[in-house]
């Protein structure tokens, strides 16, 4: 496979070019035109694209127009952060945000050094877990209380669950027109084991009123301006979610202290919902008599249109709704996209699938751009809100360039779309099928 920049095909980045106009980008980069009705297959340019990829595109007649070949679609710039795997990809350094390439997410339980970093402000410095406190208050609490971490451990039963957390903007990079914000591809997700106490047990110990509607968290991270009157983020969830068994006030990840960039020494974990509801550096929880109105709860933050809109539309705030559970999604974590493989050797593919706080009922893969699908086995979840694992052997008919696509279906019968789903102004909830490039020789 050849390097596109070496070919002098474009002065812009490939993703920038495709974000501006994917059909025109097809022509500029690959000399490719497609059927204007079906938006699939090649009318011209197939040989040029195949030459760049270094192999025949065996099912090229089905390849959607305006689609960057997976062999070129992912970037893996080197990035290092203390305590984190050097393979993470930096998206922003103020605040620090970094995602994990799909092939580094192959572990059943996500190691601490491979959990993505999504911060809105500046993490606290010189944290002392022995003096850290958590205060429970709010309009709908009967008795406000403050606990040290030691008191939480002693007073309440401890629980350990594997819980999947995913940024609501994971996959934003694929939306067109582009949405502002960190251009997450697929790696703002992870499923570690968390240890802590149930939020429900702590709230019941304080007592809450019948008019309780929402809980809100308060963290110790600073606003980027360092103005103490401003809050970096303060979100929450409805009481129905807050009172679930698996919603934890956690102090440990995989049996160790939570990493500093992921919320040490205490955080909320609301598995299956946008990770922005799992507040880090947790100092307080308020029980509200209304939908929480904190920072990044209003306007268009973490909201999507109530009804479908045309790409590029401006949507009034009153036409937006808060994101709750995350949609069904899957990931191919083995092999790495761009793998070279011998036709006569076994080809094993692996990955995970998850569906907010539902479960995965069906898992499928395709090697012909979604014309046909092979159903494969999916494991049971370790507990509710944990991701599930799949593995399969794939047979290819001949040498050439292929893409392996993965598609999951949840317990409500909802499947991943093959391409990017409904556009929204902030680029949330992209659950399109994940795909990798494979070249058979």
- What is the tens place of the pLDDT at every residue in 380-397? 999 999 999 999 999 999
Q: Is 150 helix (H, G, I), strand (E, B) or coil?
A: helix
* Per-residue pLDDT tens digits for 334-364: 999 999 999 999 999 999 999 998 999 999 9
pLDDT at 8: 38
Distance set, CA 327 to CA 168, 356, 370, 432 (Å): 10, 6, 20, 10
**pLDDT at residue 94, rounded to an integer:** 72
Looking at residue 414, what is its pLDDT? Answer: 97
Most confident of 13-27, 91-105, 183-197: 183-197
3-class secondary structure, 1? coil
Are 197 and 268 spatial neighbours (Cβ–Cβ below 8 Å)? Answer: no
Predicted pLDDT of residue 41: 74
Which tens digits make up the pLDDT trace of 115-174? 999 999 999 999 999 999 999 999 999 999 999 999 999 999 999 999 999 999 999 999
Which strands sit side by side in the sheet containing 374-376, from one edge to the other? 339-341, 434-440, 400-410, 360-366, 374-376
What pTM, to 2 d.p., does this model score? Answer: 0.86
> Given this model, what pLDDT does residue 79 score?
42
Query: What beta strand segments (E) does 189-327 contain?
Result: 189-190, 193-198, 214-219, 236-238, 248-253, 256-257, 267-269, 282-288, 303-305, 320-322
Distances (CA, A) of 440 to 57, 75, 127: 10, 22, 52
pLDDT in tens, 1-52: 555 544 434 344 566 667 667 887 787 777 788 877 777 777 777 777 777 7
Of all residues in the chain, the percent with pLDDT exceeding 70 is 94
Q: What is the pLDDT of residue 39?
A: 75
Asked if 40 and 32 touch (Cβ cutoff 8 Å), the reply is no
Structure tokens, 228: 């103490």
CA distance between the termini of the chain: 12
Give the pLDDT of residue 17.
Answer: 66
Looking at the chain, the whole-number percentage of residues with pLDDT higher than 90 is: 75
Per-residue confidence (pLDDT) for residue 186, from 0 to 100: 96
What's residue 10's pLDDT?
A: 38
Quick: pLDDT tens for 218-257.
999 999 888 999 999 999 999 999 999 999 999 999 999 9
Give pLDDT, residue 360: 98
Tokens of 265: 């020494």
Q: Dump pLDDT digits (tens) for 304-317.
A: 999 999 999 999 99
Most confident residue range from 51-60, 127-136, 179-188? 127-136
Q: Which of 279, 295, 280, 323 is nearest to 426 (CA)?
A: 323
CA-CA distance, 124 to 132, in Å (whole number)? Answer: 12
CA dist 430 and 157 (Å) reads: 37
Q: Tokens in use for 114?
A: 């491979």
Per-state percent for the chain, helix, strand, coil, to nearest 5: 15, 30, 55
Question: Coil, strand, or helix at residue 333?
Answer: strand
- pLDDT, the chain, mean: 91
User: What distance in Å separates the CA atoms of residue 154 and residue 144, rounded to the nearest whole number?
Assistant: 19
Q: Which two tokens stand for residue 214?
A: 């929402």
Q: Between 147 and 73, whose confidence is greater?
A: 147
Q: Is 277 a residue whose pLDDT tops 50?
A: yes
Given a cut of 70, whether residue 78 has pLDDT beyond it is no
């Amino acid at each position: 496979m050849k390097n596109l920049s070496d070919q002098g095909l474009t002065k812009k980045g490939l993703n920038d070019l495709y974000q501006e106009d994917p059909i025109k980008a097809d022509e500029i980069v690959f000399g490719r035109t497609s059927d204007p009705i079906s938006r699939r297959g090649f009318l011209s340019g197939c040989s040029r694209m195949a030459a760049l990829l270094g192999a025949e595109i065996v099912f090229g007649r089905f390849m959607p127009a305006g689609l960057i070949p997976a062999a070129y679609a992912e970037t893996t710039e080197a990035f290092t952060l203390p305590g984190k795997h050097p393979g993470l990809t930096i998206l922003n350094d103020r605040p620090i945000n970094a995602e994990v390439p799909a092939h580094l997410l192959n572990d059943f339980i996500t190691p601490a050094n491979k959990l993505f970093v999504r911060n809105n402000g500046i993490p606290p410095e010189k944290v002392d877990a022995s003096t850290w406190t958590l205060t429970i208050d709010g309009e709908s609490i009967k008795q406000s209380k403050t606990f040290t971490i030691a008191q939480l451990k002693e007073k309440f039963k401890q629980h350990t669950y594997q819980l999947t957390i995913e940024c609501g903007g994971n996959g934003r990079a694929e939306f067109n027109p582009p949405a502002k914000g960190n251009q997450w591809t697929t790696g703002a997700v992870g499923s570690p084991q968390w240890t802590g106490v149930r939020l429900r047990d702590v709230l019941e110990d304080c007592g809450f009123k019948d008019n309780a509607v929402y809980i809100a968290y308060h963290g110790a991270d600073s606003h980027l301006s360092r103005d103490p009157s401003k809050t970096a983020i303060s979100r929450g969830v409805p009481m129905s979610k807050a009172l679930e068994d698996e919603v934890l006030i956690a102090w440990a990840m995989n049996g160790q202290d939570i990493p500093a960039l992921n919320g040490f020494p205490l955080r909320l974990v609301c598995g299956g919902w946008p990770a922005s509801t799992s507040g880090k550096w947790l100092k307080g929880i308020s029980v509200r008599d209304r939908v929480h109105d904190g920072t990044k709860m209003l306007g268009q933050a973490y909201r999507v249109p109530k009804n479908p809109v045309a790409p590029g539309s401006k949507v009034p705030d009153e036409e937006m709704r808060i994101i709750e559970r995350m949609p069904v999604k899957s990931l191919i974590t083995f092999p790495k996209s761009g793998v070279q493989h011998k036709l006569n050797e076994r080809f094993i593919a692996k990955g995970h699938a998850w569906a907010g706080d539902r479960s995965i009922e069906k898992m499928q893969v395709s090697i012909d751009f979604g014309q046909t699908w092979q159903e494969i086995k999916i494991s049971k979840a370790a507990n509710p809100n944990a991701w599930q694992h799949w593995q399969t052997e794939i047979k290819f008919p001949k040498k050439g360039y292929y893409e392996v696509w993965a598609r999951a279906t949840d317990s409500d019968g909802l499947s991943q779309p093959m391409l990017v789903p409904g556009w929204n102004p902030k680029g949330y909830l992209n659950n399109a099928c994940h795909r990798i490039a494979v070249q058979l020789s």
